[in-house]
């Protein structure tokens, strides 16, 4: 029906309708037999009402589609905001981990310094113990020689 309106065709051509010459309907009676052609006018009115209803449905469908798109866009917007927040949290986590790694590196350096100091102390003690051991060995040898000579 709407396609016929779009193409300019009528189901029942009336006076002055498409395909009619101006003034041609005035001399010929309309298909319903009336001189005025009220039947044709009523048909056109019915067609126009149907066309208006169809346009109304089209408008409603377009509004529904637009509303659906608005909802989809809002949902995507919320999803993107959530992703942004997650990324910010990930960024904060990375920064925190980098600070933690820096602190651990500082502590490791401090422990290394302490380990080096302990190593030096051990080496010093080893050296002193070696000296004491030499003294004890020397004194032990001296005592042994004295006993051997007395005995």
Tell me the pTM: 0.45
Residues 6 or more apart whose Cβ sits within 8 Å of residue 29: 35
Under a CB-based contact definition with an 8 Å cutoff, are residues 47 and 1 in contact? yes
Sign of CA dihedral 72, 74, 75, 80: positive
C-alpha 25 chain-centroid distance: 67
Write out the chain's pLDDT in tens, 151 residues.
445 444 444 444 444 444 333 343 444 444 544 677 888 899 999 999 999 999 999 999 999 999 999 999 999 999 999 999 999 999 999 999 999 999 999 999 999 999 999 999 999 999 999 999 999 999 999 999 998 888 6
3-state helix, strand, coil in the chain (%, to 5): 80, 0, 20
């Amino acid at each position: 029906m709407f396609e016929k309106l779009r193409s300019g065709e009528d189901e029942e051509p009336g006076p002055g309708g498409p395909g009619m010459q101006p003034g041609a309907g005035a001399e010929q009676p309309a298909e319903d037999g009336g001189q005025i052609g009220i039947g044709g006018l009523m048909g056109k009115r019915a067609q126009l009402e149907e066309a208006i209803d169809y346009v109304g449905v089209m408008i409603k469908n377009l509004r529904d589609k637009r509303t659906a798109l608005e909802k989809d866009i809002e949902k995507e917007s919320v999803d993107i905001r959530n992703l942004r927040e997650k990324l910010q949290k990930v960024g904060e986590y990375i920064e925190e981990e980098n600070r933690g790694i820096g602190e651990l590196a500082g502590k490791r350096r401090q422990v290394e310094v302490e380990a080096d100091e302990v190593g030096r102390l051990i080496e010093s003690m080893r050296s002193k113990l070696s000296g004491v051991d030499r003294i004890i060995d020397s004194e032990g040898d001296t005592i042994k020689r004295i006993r051997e000579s007395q005995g």
